[in-house]
Every structure is written in structure tokens, then in C-alpha cells.
Amino acid sequence: MLTIIVNDAPYGIEKPWNAFRLASTSASSEIGMTVNVFLMGDSVVSAKRGQKTPEGYYNMEKMLRMLIGKGVEVLCCGACIDARGLDESDLVDGVKRGSMKALATWVKESDKVISF
């Protein structure tokens, strides 16, 4: 199992995009890994439904939908979405509210953990 932790805002930096690309490739039928993605800090905005993508960037909402379609489990830090005035109903379908306990469990159970 691979757990990917993402911390940065979805636009203006390429870390979330690269994290989602790695998650997609790792979850592909060719590689076949079980992949979890935990969004923390400003990266929770990546999971906001109906976001407007700045020119020249990939749409993070679409990327998350694709990941979920591949069976990737995606959690958002609950305290982080609260701090940004978001609610679970604001999130892309399939993205769930997470917790430090959930992240700690993933870290414990994972073979590899990568933080972007």
C-alpha cells in the first residue's frame, strides 16, 4: 500500500499535480498498487467541487475524480477543511472527511509513504 500526503494549494505550484500523477500511475492496472491520498493544509482546496482552474493548469477536481474512479481512497483533513470554511458537502463526490487517526492508520499499514 502507498499513502501519498499532499500539503500545498492546488494551483501556483505543481506538487499536487505531480502527487496525483504518481497516485494515478501507481494505481494503474500495470503497477497495481493500493493507493491512498490524504489532503492536508491548503491542498484540501484541490477537492472542492466546481472549482475554476487558472489558465495553464490541470483541473485538480477532474484529476481527483479520475483517481477515485481507479479505486484510490481520498481523505481530507477535517480540521483543514473546517479552517477554510469548507464542508464535506463542498467536496468532490467520493472524497471523505479524514482525521489524524485515519492518516496515522494509513501510515502504519502502508509499505511506503510519500509527502508532497
Domain limits, the chain: 2-115
Contact predicate 35/23, CB 8 Å: yes
DSSP 3-state of 94:
coil
The closest alpha carbon to 67, from 42, 96, 37, belongs to 37
Fold of 2-115: Hypothetical Protein Ychn; Chain: A, (3.40.1260)
Hey, what's the torsion of the CAs at 95, 3, 45, 64, to 10 degrees?
Answer: -50
CA distance 82 to 35: 25
Overall pTM > 0.85: yes
pLDDT tens track for 40-49: 999 999 999 9
pLDDT tens track for 58-78: 999 999 999 999 999 999 999
